[in-house]
């Protein structure tokens, strides 16, 4: 794991199984949409960016009928990927331009209440543990229904997105949703992470309600793309992939070489300015297809600091 977690804690959490009952079936997509999907309108405080924050219209914003997630339209365009600042790392090189097709991105990270709908449907596995970093009762507790779901593996995140009629974003799509047409270091611009723009630096010490930091809005209106929790993306991790990445709609290497590592993006509530940079690439163990289905390795690792959001085609 790059720069992020204490392995022994991760192994312990992944080994634990949820014994808590998920949300009652009354936690419908409509109810969750009311409490979550409308918390952050696209009229947040403007940030310095070359991409204007979109006005909410039927052409730029829609609500998923399956889980109530607000989705934002990201038009086809070019994103400048890779390290563009003094804190860049070797796996962010070379910086390069990528052309992407249009897509829809979730405005916020998938929350506990939404994920519980998939568990109720018998499609998703419950999170590996009901706790968060400092809360003993997190998943299944109505108090945290609109906080990001955590303790889910790449396998689980992928299963959820498919159930919701979406998919995990590619690494390039994630970076475009966070950066827009700009060369910003952070989704909101160049200002360093602080208590006003992101859940970071361990100021809060755990996850926060999605959409809490309106000044951290990205050029296309997405929130929590830096801080709160790391986010699974579709791609395998390969340190030198940018040197061979295609210029159009890259989907990552066919595999990660000799491992099953998958990319995570965005940093977490514990991380600092270097980790929250748009270009920063983390990784964690994804599913190992050579493992037996009842082995933890078959699904990959989970963490109290990793969640996800989904995307879909226009």
Q: Give the pLDDT of residue 212.
A: 97
Which residues, listed in sequence order, are joined to residue 186 by a DSSP beta bridge?
189
| Degrees to nearest 5, angle at CA 263 with 22 and 135 | 35
- The helix/strand/coil state of 84 is coil
* Pairing of β 306-308 and β 96-100: unpaired
**Residue-level pLDDT at 42:** 42
CA–CA distance, 199 with 269 (Å, rounded to integer): 5
Dihedral sign (CA 266, 1, 10, 255): positive
Calpha distance 199→73 (Å, rounded): 25
Average pLDDT over residues 6-24: 32
Angle at 282 between CA 279 and CA 286, to 5 degrees: 135
Nearest to 90 by CA among 242, 226, 230, 235: 242
The larger pLDDT score, comparing residue 303 to residue 50, is at: 303
Strands 230-236 and 306-308 turn out to be parallel
What token pair was written down for 114?
């939404």
Query: Which pair of structure tokens corresponds to residue 45?
Result: 């405080």
User: Coil, helix or strand for 247?
Assistant: coil
CA distances to 151, 180, 223 from 218, in Å: 25, 7, 6
**For 248-306, how does the pLDDT look when each residue is reduced to its tens digit (9 = 90+)?**
999 999 876 557 999 999 999 999 999 999 999 999 999 998 889 889 999 999 999 99
> For the structural domain made of 7-312, what CATH number should be given?
3.90.1580.10
Report the pLDDT value the prediction gives residue 29, as an integer from 0 to 100.
Answer: 54
């Amino acid at each position: 794991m790059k720069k992020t977690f204490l392995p022994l804690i991760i192994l312990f959490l992944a080994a634990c199984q949820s014994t808590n009952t998920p949300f009652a079936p009354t936690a419908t997509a409509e109810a969750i949409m009311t409490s979550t999907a409308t918390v952050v309108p696209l009229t947040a405080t403007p940030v310095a960016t070359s991409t204007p924050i979109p006005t909410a219209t039927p052409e730029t914003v829609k609500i998923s009928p399956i889980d109530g997630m607000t989705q934002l339209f990201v038009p086809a365009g070019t994103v400048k990927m890779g390290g563009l600042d003094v804190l860049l790392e070797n796996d962010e090189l070379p910086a390069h331009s990528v052309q992407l097709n249009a897509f829809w991105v979730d405005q916020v990270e998938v929350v506990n209440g939404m994920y519980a709908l998939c568990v109720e449907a018998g499609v998703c596995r419950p999170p590996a543990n009901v706790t968060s970093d400092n809360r003993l009762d997190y998943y299944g507790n109505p108090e945290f229904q609109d906080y990001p779901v955590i303790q889910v593996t790449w396998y689980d995140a992928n299963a959820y997105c498919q159930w919701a009629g979406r998919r995990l974003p590619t690494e390039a799509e994630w970076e475009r949703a966070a950066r827009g047409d700009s060369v910003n270091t952070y989704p909101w611009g160049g200002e360093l992470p602080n208590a006003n723009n992101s859940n970071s630096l361990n100021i809060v010490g755990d996850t926060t309600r999605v959409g809490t930091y309106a000044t951290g809005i990205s050029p296309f209106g997405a929130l929590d793309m830096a801080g709160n929790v790391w986010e699974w993306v579709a791609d395998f991790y390969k340190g030198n992939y940018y040197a061979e990445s295609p210029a159009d709609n890259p989907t990552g290497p066919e595999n990660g070489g000799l491992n099953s590592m998958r990319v995570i993006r965005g940093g977490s509530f514990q991380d600092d300015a270097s980790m929250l940079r748009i270009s920063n690439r983390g990784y964690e163990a994804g599913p190992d297809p050579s493992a037996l289905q009842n082995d933890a390795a078959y699904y990959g690792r989970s963490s109290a600091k990793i969640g996800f959001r989904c995307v879909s085609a226009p």
